[in-house]
């Protein structure tokens, strides 16, 4: 199963279909936009014109490459219920998402059903990947304090396509090892790189497995609980959607504010309590505790898309 069919998801799905994988399930909530074409290789200008959902456009292209692969395309906003209903059936999950909220849900679902998954992320020229094996390796919850995160996203600082392909190369290779029963060949390391700066790091993380981790050691799966999930609410009469992060998420307001200052955003404003800016036709206000107002829409899905683009 591939969760997210953007840059990482479109590239990894094509590699696996060409490799002859028998069945792939694609999950993504979004449709194809012009800005996607720079790095999301399965899509075309025709898909942009038709606002084709990414999973549908991807399936059409992938079936033309290999008609023998069974491809399930699910146009959904991936959450706990969606993953809980299918995770037990799959062999391995590829993380190709754009936010840590979904990744932490993937992490706990995979711990719950004892499924391996391959974490991957990239922005600008930087990328990182790690294969999580339940009961054997640290999980993402264990590693959260060791993974750099400055709030940058592909939409705020861009990304170069070679960084995508480097992450995909690592992710897909690990998946092929798992599908062919070659676990002894797995990397076992957190791999990070910056192509622009000619830097690469491979970190042995076995000792970072936390005996008190609620996800992989205590089997409490905190990220599957309601209070840990992102919540949206349409504010009556205001053409605004409010978004609250889960109670367990830490929001680094000062760091976030400093990052936004460098982006030359329209009508940027900040004070000790909030930061606001405009992305025509929307106005986004982020409070010190991470609570966010998306003015200019009543659509929770549209609001969440903007939230993950700019709040990260």
Length of the chain counted residue by residue: 312
SS3 call for 132: strand
154, 213, 216, 236: which is the annotated catalytic residue?
154
281 touches 266 (CB < 8 A): no
Please say whether the dihedral angle defined by the alpha carbons of residues 132, 138, 142 and 144, taken in this order, is positive or negative: negative
Q: Centre a 10 Å sphere on the Cβ of residue 65 and count the other Cβ atoms it contains.
A: 12
In DSSP terms, which residues pair with 285 in a beta bridge? 276, 293
CA–CA distance, 175 with 118 (Å, rounded to integer)? 8
Non-local (6+) Cβ contacts of 68 within 8 A are: 20, 22
- Is 139 considered catalytic here? no
Give the residue numbers annotated as catalytic, written as ranges. 154
């Amino acid at each position: 199963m591939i969760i997210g069919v953007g840059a990482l998801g479109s590239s990894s799905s094509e590699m696996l279909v060409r490799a002859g994988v028998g069945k792939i399930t694609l999950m993504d909530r979004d449709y194809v936009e012009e800005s996607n074409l720079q790095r999301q290789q399965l899509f075309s200008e025709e898909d942009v014109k038709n606002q084709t959902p990414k999973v549908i456009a991807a399936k059409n292209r992938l079936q033309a490459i290999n008609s023998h692969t069974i491809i399930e395309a699910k146009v959904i906003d991936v959450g706990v219920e969606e993953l809980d209903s299918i995770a037990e059936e799959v062999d391995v999950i590829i993380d190709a998402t754009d936010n840590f909220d979904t990744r932490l849900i993937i992490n706990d679902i995979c711990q719950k059903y004892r499924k391996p998954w391959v974490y991957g992320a990239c922005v600008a020229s930087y990328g990182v990947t790690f294969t999580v094996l339940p009961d054997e390796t640290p999980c993402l919850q264990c590693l959260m304090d060791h993974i750099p995160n400055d709030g940058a996203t592909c939409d705020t600082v861009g990304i170069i396509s070679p960084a995508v392909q480097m992450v995909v190369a690592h992710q897909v290779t690990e998946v092929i090892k798992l599908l062919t029963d070659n676990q002894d060949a797995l990397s076992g390391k957190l791999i990070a790189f910056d192509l622009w700066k000619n830097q690469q790091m491979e970190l042995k993380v076995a000792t970072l497995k936390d005996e008190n981790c609620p996800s992989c050691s205590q089997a409490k799966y905190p990220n599957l609980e309601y209070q840990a999930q992102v919540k949206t609410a349409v504010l009556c009469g205001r053409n605004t959607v409010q978004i609250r992060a889960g109670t367990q998420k830490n929001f680094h307001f000062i760091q976030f504010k400093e990052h936004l200052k460098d982006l030359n955003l329209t009508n940027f404003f900040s004070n000790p309590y909030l930061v606001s800016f405009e992305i025509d036709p929307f106005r986004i206000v982020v409070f010190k505790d991470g609570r966010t107002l998306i003015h200019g829409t009543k659509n929770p899905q549209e609001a969440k898309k903007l939230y993950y683009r700019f709040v990260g």
